[in-house]
């Protein structure tokens, strides 16, 4: 019977339907998400784009299972999402490395928390190698630059072999050169590992360079305003006329055209 089990695909299928959520600000509810429906196919890279503070990050927290949703359906591979799970890992805007752990031990965090670190230490080394930081295993987080710290945070996520990688503006605080390098790196890793990726970003160009599909959100409370398929292979070029045209139309739909 075990033999009949379907092989687990690398990516998670995400199904969101009629999702609404509100914050409680001193007794008065403040709606942040309104009736959001969204399906993400296994292995798809979806970018969420929208005005600052519109509730995109809240959506990610709900998908990660860090908070229960007020209303609506939220499923991963048909199973309701009721709590956090190492198959759905978040990379936050800040690297949030633990300053009291060396780089290696930060990356080992997930395996240690799940109680499987013993015997799987090579997975930590492999994850560090993936982000080209093998030489920094013994460094303290305070000794790293912003881009390096964010790559360690990425390794800390990837070591768990997530089926859904949730990226909350992961490159938001990096300088533009590091940003370009890391966009390439993220695409490489996504193509090699085959996980589903859900990324919040403020940067239209970044979304166009990285995502298969871009979801544009309205102002708070966030609703899905439009969806754009980016039908281009990788690597993409910033000056690709097709992308430039899409960029203009997205900016227009955001009211910035």
Partner 1 sequence: MSSVKWAHSAAAARPRLAAVGWRPALAVLAWLGAALLTRFYPDATRHWPWTVGLANIELGMALAIGVLAVLAPRSVRVAKGLRHLAAWLIVLALLLAAWELLTAKLGRLPMPFFAPPQALIAVYFNDWARLLDSLWHSALLLGSGVLLGAVCGFIAGVSIGWSSAIGYWLHPVLRILGPVPSTALLPLCFFLFPSSWSASVFLIALATWFPVTVLSWSGVASVDKAYYDVARTLGAKPGFLIFRVAIPAAMPHVFVGLFMGLGASFSTLVVAEMMGVKAGIGWYLQWAQGWAAYANMYAALLLMALACSGLISALFKVRDRLLAWQKGAVKW
Q: Which residue ranges make up the site for partner 1 (CB under 8 A)?
A: 64-66, 84-86, 88-90, 92, 94, 96, 98-102, 109-110, 112-114, 140-142, 156, 160
Minimal distance, residue 221 CB to partner 1, in Å: 23
**Is there a contact between 200 and 56 (Cβ–Cβ < 8 Å)?**
yes
Nearer to partner 1, 81 or 207 (CB): 81
Nearer to partner 1, 10 or 140 (CB): 140
Nearer to partner 1, 149 or 204 (CB): 149
H or E, element range at 216 = strand 213-217
Distance of CA 36 to CAs 49, 168, 203, Å?
14, 18, 22
Minimal distance, residue 152 CB to partner 1, in Å: 12
Structure tokens at 226: 């439009």
Minimal distance, residue 89 CB to partner 1, in Å: 6
Minimal distance, residue 171 CB to partner 1, in Å: 17
Residue 154 burial by CB count (10 A; 0-12/13-18/19+): exposed, middle or buried? buried
In 41-150, DSSP assigns E strands to 45-49, 71-76, 79-80, 88-91
- Helix ranges (H only) for 72-163 are 103-107, 109-113, 121-130, 146-158
Nearer to partner 1, 34 or 168 (CB): 168
Nearer to partner 1, 58 or 212 (CB): 58
**Is there a contact between 77 and 12 (Cβ–Cβ < 8 Å)?**
yes
Nearer to partner 1, 160 or 201 (CB): 160
Minimal distance, residue 160 CB to partner 1, in Å: 6
Sign of torsion over alpha carbons 13, 45, 47, 84: positive
CA distance 13 to 195: 10
Minimal distance, residue 118 CB to partner 1, in Å: 15
């Amino acid at each position: 019977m075990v033999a009949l089990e379907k092989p687990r695909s690398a990516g998670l299928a995400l199904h969101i339907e009629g999702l609404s959520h509100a914050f409680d600000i001193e007794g008065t509810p403040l709606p942040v998400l309104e009736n959001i429906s969204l399906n993400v196919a296994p292995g798809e890279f979806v970018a969420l784009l929208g005005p600052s503070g519109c509730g995109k990050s809240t959506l990610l927290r709900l998908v990660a299972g860090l908070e229960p949703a007020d209303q609506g359906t939220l499923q991963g591979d048909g199973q309701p999402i009721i709590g956090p799970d190492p198959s759905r890992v978040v990379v936050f805007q800040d690297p949030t490395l633990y300053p009291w752990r060396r780089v290696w031990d930060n990356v080992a965090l997930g395996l240690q928390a799940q109680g499987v670190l013993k015997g799987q230490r090579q997975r930590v080394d492999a994850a560090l190698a993936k982000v080209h930081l093998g030489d920094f295993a013994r460094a303290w987080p305070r000794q790293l630059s912003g881009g390096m710290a964010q790559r360690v945070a990425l390794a800390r996520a990837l070591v768990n072999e997530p089926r859904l990688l949730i990226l909350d503006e992961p490159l938001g605080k990096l300088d533009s050169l590091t940003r370009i390098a890391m966009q390439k790196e993220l695409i490489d890793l996504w193509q090699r590992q085959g996980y589903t990726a859900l990324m919040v970003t403020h940067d239209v160009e970044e979304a166009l360079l990285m995502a298969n599909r871009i979801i544009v959100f309205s102002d708070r409370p966030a609703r899905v305003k439009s969806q754009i398929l980016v039908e281009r292979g990788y690597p993409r070029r910033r000056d690709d006329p097709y992308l430039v045209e899409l960029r203009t139309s997205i900016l227009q739909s955001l009211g910035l055209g």
